[in-house]
Amino acid sequence: MDIDKTFSALADPTRRAILARLALGEASVAELAEPFDMTPRAVSLHVSVLEKAGLISRTRDAQRRPSRLELAPLQEVDAWLEQYRALWEGRFDRMAALLKEARHE
């Protein structure tokens, strides 16, 4: 997986909204296009970017091509962010301890 492609795909609010919708279950491009003020073709381009980043997969189901969320790239992003999360949590814990100590002085 390419984390740069993942972050690039996640940079667009429409694509993040599509992922949020797919977190509820699979959907066709027409279904994904419903809440947006854009054509199904424009949504299809967003879906293509998400698919190339590995964030979604599409299958053929008779006449439909439903999209579904793929968790692996999001887990990779979460693992990458975890190192920074741990760093900041440690800093906040130290700051809280210093503030508590300062209040008792």
Indicate the average pLDDT of the chain: 91
With a pLDDT cut of 70, the percent of the chain lying above it is: 99
Under the banding of pLDDT at 50, 70 and 90, the label for residue 105 is confident
Domain ranges of the chain: 3-103
Q: Would you state the pLDDT for residue 53? A: 96
Q: Would you state the pLDDT for residue 93? A: 79
- Asked if residues 21 and 69 have their Cβ atoms less than 8 Å apart, the reply is no
What interhelical angle do 3-10 and 13-22 show, nearest 10? 100
Topology of domain 3-103, per CATH? Answer: Arc Repressor Mutant, subunit A (1.10.10)
- Pairing assessment for the beta strands 56-58 and 67-69 based on DSSP bridges: antiparallel
